[in-house]
Amino acid sequence: MKLRIAVLALGAAALTGVLAAETFKDVSLIDSQCVDKVKSNPDKHTVKCALSCEDGGYGILTADGKYLKFDDAGNKKAIAALQATKKTDHIRATVEGTVAGDQLKVSSLALQ
């Protein structure tokens, strides 16, 4: 019985570590329709283009070149931030959330 409890506790601890929130600083915010087109130079991607492609959703390009798509809440945060910014390109952000596969469940997003 003690062994079973220890194994369950260890499994729960491992699962908690997998679901821990991560912070991504100074990452490019890109809509999913343009990610392949702008991957080599994401800072030239314009806010106007990102807003016109909002139907496909948004995500970030990580330092290792991986694209993480936002969940619905993250997409709403991205749209609000893009609509409020005075920037025209060089869309960089600090994003906090939980990664599951290639999706990021966004808890906070701030453009830089």
Reply yes or no on whether the pLDDT at 59 is more than 90: yes
What is the pLDDT at residue 6? Answer: 46
Range of the structural domain that residue 31 is part of = 21-111
Determine the Cα–Cα distance for residues 49 and 25; give it in Å rounded to an integer: 22
Task: Give residue 10's pLDDT band: very low, low, confident or very high (50, 70, 90).
Answer: low
In a domain, 75, yes or no: yes
- Is pTM beyond 0.85 here? no
CA distance 47 to 35: 13
Interior/surface letters 30-41, b for 16+ CB within 10 angstroms, e for the rest: bbbbbbeebeee
Residue 15 inside a domain? The answer is: no
pLDDT over threshold 90, residue 55: yes
What pLDDT does 4 receive?
56
Q: In the prediction, which pLDDT does 11 show?
A: 56
**Residue written as tokens 């990580």?**
62
Residue 26 belongs to some domain of the structure: yes
Domain count for the chain: 1
Q: What is the CATH number of the domain that holds 61?
A: 2.40.50
Closest CA to 84 of 42, 50, 35: 50
- Three-class DSSP labels, 32-74: CCCHHHHCCCHHHCCHHHHHHCHHHCEEEECCCCCEEEECHHH
Each residue's pLDDT tens digit, 76-96: 999 999 999 999 999 999 999
User: Does residue 10 form part of some domain?
Assistant: no
Residue 62 inside a domain? The answer is yes
Q: Which range is least confidently modeled, 3-7, 44-48, 89-93? A: 3-7
Give percent of the chain above pLDDT 90. 81
Longest dimension (CA), the chain: 61
Tokens for 30, please give them: 């890109």
pLDDT score recorded for residue 93: 98
* Arithmetic mean of pLDDT, 35-46: 96
State the sign of the Cα–Cα–Cα–Cα dihedral 27, 31, 33, 37: negative
